[in-house]
């Protein structure tokens, strides 16, 4: 018999809720309008955290001027130094799994990478003087997929091609024994390396 | 927007047709200096025909020669790899008397020239890439410095990373045999076509 008041209370609560919903058409309309608005205009601002090659780790602010286009920019870090990067992402259509095309570029500012020389980083110790001031620029074109919601949370995986231009300022002098058995002193000054290479990126995106 | 996407995809697809290789790496070294220390040059009055620049020696202006190998493949091993092309230019050359040659100078050197050899076994296959003419009233000097002919790509002359060079020195005053460091400054661009390796 003790359960009777509990059941009655639950029934009253349900009835009251039903009455509120039925009796407040303005609230229902607002909800519908909000849902419709979301379908038409997804959130414009978001955050993107990603890691990849050649950019390292990056955190970006994302702006969506129109539904299919995102602009992003932010700082990046690669264990040696800091840089900035930005780009544009195209999502031609939205599904649970959406295709993504991304074009981005960035610059790492001059940093001291001498700690990579020798046993620690696997770079020959002779090159150490060239690593005192290293910087690089890159541009990447990638395609991939985005899994998740366009309005709240999504993860993405992309792969493509990057162009990298690396400059090392300094002079390295080494003594080598040539194939003829004679000794030669060789000096490199300000070498620059550029080229294209495969690149990948994985990211997590939040909209608000 | 759909149209823009298709245009962008078409542009991406057209990238490989732009001319150069899609996958490449390029190393640029604006200054690559190789010094061969203590190279022995014969005396101006040497009687060994192997040291002469020509079969017949003019006693008033004797000319002696040395063949040097600049092994660039040692410090830049990628030169010997498959799929690599390179552009090598000589920027300058210096002949500097070694520190052990105290009391000697190069005042007796009237001309000096550096030739790159198309055929290392054929001295006549040389092309002059740097030359020196002693200026009038030159003060005694322990070194000779000249600017190289940077218009000539020395890449075709490299053999397994080695650039064979012939140094010819013409004297107008008696000069004993000497040891000199021969320092050459190059600029180098090496390009590797990744795609050809796949």
In this predicted model, what pLDDT tens digit does every residue of A154-178 receive, in sequence order? Answer: 999 999 999 999 999 989 888 888 7
Contact state of A68 with B23 under an 8 Å Cβ cutoff: no
For residue A19, cis peptide bond before it (omega within 30 degrees of 0):
no
pLDDT, residue A1, reads 41
**Burial per residue of B155-190, b for 16 or more beta-carbon CB atoms within 10 angstroms, e otherwise:** bebbeebbbbbbbbbbbeeebeebebbbbbbbbbbb
As a whole number of angstroms, the distance between CA B126 and CA B164 comes to 10
Residue B100 has pLDDT above 80, yes or no: no
As a whole number of angstroms, the distance between CA B33 and CA A174 comes to 10
Task: Specify whether the CB–CB gap between A191 and B29 falls below 8 A.
Answer: yes
Q: From chain B, which residues contact A within 8 Å (Cβ)?
A: 1-2, 4-5, 8-9, 12, 15, 22-37, 69-71, 73-75, 160-162, 192, 194
pLDDT, residue A18, reads 43
Q: Which residues of A touch B23 (CB under 8 A)?
A: 161, 195-197
Please report, for residues A39, B32, B142, B179, the alpha-carbon distance to residue B113 in angstroms, rounded to integers and kept in the order given: 79, 20, 17, 17
Residue B197 has pLDDT above 80, yes or no: no
pLDDT, residue A114, reads 85
Arithmetic mean of pLDDT, B36-53:
92
Task: Specify whether the CB–CB gap between A82 and A135 falls below 8 A.
Answer: no
For chain A, percent of residues with pLDDT exceeding 90: 54
Considering CB atoms only, which of A68, A176, A188 is closest to B74? A176
Among A102-106, B48-52, B72-76, the range scoring the smallest mean pLDDT is B72-76
Joined together, the tokens standing for residue B182 give 């021969």
Residue B166 has pLDDT above 50, yes or no: yes
| Average pLDDT value over all residues in chain B | 85
Among A33-37, A46-50, A158-162, B15-19, the range scoring the smallest mean pLDDT is B15-19
pLDDT, residue A8, reads 43
Task: Label residue A48 by pLDDT band (50, 70, 90).
Answer: very high
Name the residue among A166, A172, A177 with its Cα closest to residue A127.
Answer: A172
As a whole number of angstroms, the distance between CA B29 and CA B89 comes to 11
Joined together, the tokens standing for residue B71 give 């092994």
Residue A22 has pLDDT above 80, yes or no: no
| Average pLDDT value over all residues in chain A | 83
pLDDT, residue A21, reads 44
Closest-CA distance, A42 to chain B, in angstroms, reads 16
Task: Label residue B141 by pLDDT band (50, 70, 90).
Answer: confident
pLDDT, residue B168, reads 93
Task: Specify whether the CB–CB gap between B126 and B115 falls below 8 A.
Answer: yes
Residue A57 has pLDDT above 90, yes or no: yes
Arithmetic mean of pLDDT, A82-96:
93
Arithmetic mean of pLDDT, B55-77:
88
Residue B57 has pLDDT above 80, yes or no: yes
pLDDT, residue A6, reads 43
Arithmetic mean of pLDDT, B84-112:
88
| ipTM (interface predicted TM) | 0.77
Task: Label residue A30 by pLDDT band (50, 70, 90).
Answer: low
Task: Label residue A122 by pLDDT band (50, 70, 90).
Answer: low
Residue A10 has pLDDT above 50, yes or no: no
Residue A37 has pLDDT above 70, yes or no: no
The total of other beta-carbon atoms located within 10 Å of residue B77's CB is: 10
As a whole number of angstroms, the distance between CA B16 and CA A25 comes to 60
Contact state of A182 with B28 under an 8 Å Cβ cutoff: no
């Amino acid at each position: 018999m003790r359960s009777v008041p509990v059941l009655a209370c639950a029934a009253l609560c349900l009835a009251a809720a039903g009455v509120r919903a039925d009796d407040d058409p303005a609230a229902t309309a607002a909800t519908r309008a909000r849902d419709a608005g979301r379908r038409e205009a997804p959130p414009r601002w978001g955050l993107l955290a990603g890691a990849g090659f050649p950019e390292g780790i990056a955190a970006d602010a994302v702006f969506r001027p129109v539904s299919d286009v995102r602009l992003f920019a932010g700082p990046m870090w690669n264990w040696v130094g800091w840089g900035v990067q930005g780009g544009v992402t195209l999502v031609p259509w939205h599904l649970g799994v959406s295709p993504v095309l991304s074009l981005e570029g960035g610059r790492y500012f001059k940093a001291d990478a001498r700690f990579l020389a020798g046993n620690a980083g696997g770079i020959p110790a002779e090159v150490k003087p060239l690593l005192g001031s290293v910087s690089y620029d890159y541009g990447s074109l990638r395609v991939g997929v985005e899994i998740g919601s366009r309005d709240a949370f999504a993860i993405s995986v992309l792969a493509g091609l990057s162009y990298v231009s690396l400059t090392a300022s300094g002079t390295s002098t080494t003594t080598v024994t040539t194939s003829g058995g004679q000794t030669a002193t060789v000096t490199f000054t300000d070498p620059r390396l550029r080229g294209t290479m495969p690149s990948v990126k994985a990211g997590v995106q939040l909209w608000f | 927007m759909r149209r823009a996407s298709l245009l962008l995809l078409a542009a991406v697809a057209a990238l490989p047709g732009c001319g150069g290789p899609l996958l490449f790496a390029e190393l640029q070294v604006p200054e690559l200096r190789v010094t061969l220390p203590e190279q022995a040059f014969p005396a101006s009055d040497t009687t060994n025909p192997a040291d002469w620049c020509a079969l017949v020696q003019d006693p008033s202006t004797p000319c002696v020669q040395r063949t040097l190998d600049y092994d660039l493949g040692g410090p830049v091993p990628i030169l010997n790899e498959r799929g690599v092309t390179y552009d090598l230019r000589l920027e300058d050359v210096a002949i500097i008397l070694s520190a052990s040659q105290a009391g000697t100078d190069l005042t007796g050197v009237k001309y000096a020239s550096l030739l790159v050899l198309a055929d290392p076994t054929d001295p006549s296959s040389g092309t002059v890439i740097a030359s020196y003419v002693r200026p009038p009233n030159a003060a005694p000097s322990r070194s000779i410095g000249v600017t190289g002919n940077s218009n000539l790509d020395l890449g075709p002359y490299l053999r397994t990373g080695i650039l064979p060079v012939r140094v010819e020195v013409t004297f107008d005053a008696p000069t004993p045999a000497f040891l000199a460091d021969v320092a050459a400054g190059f600029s180098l661009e090496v390009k590797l076509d990744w795609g050809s390796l796949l």
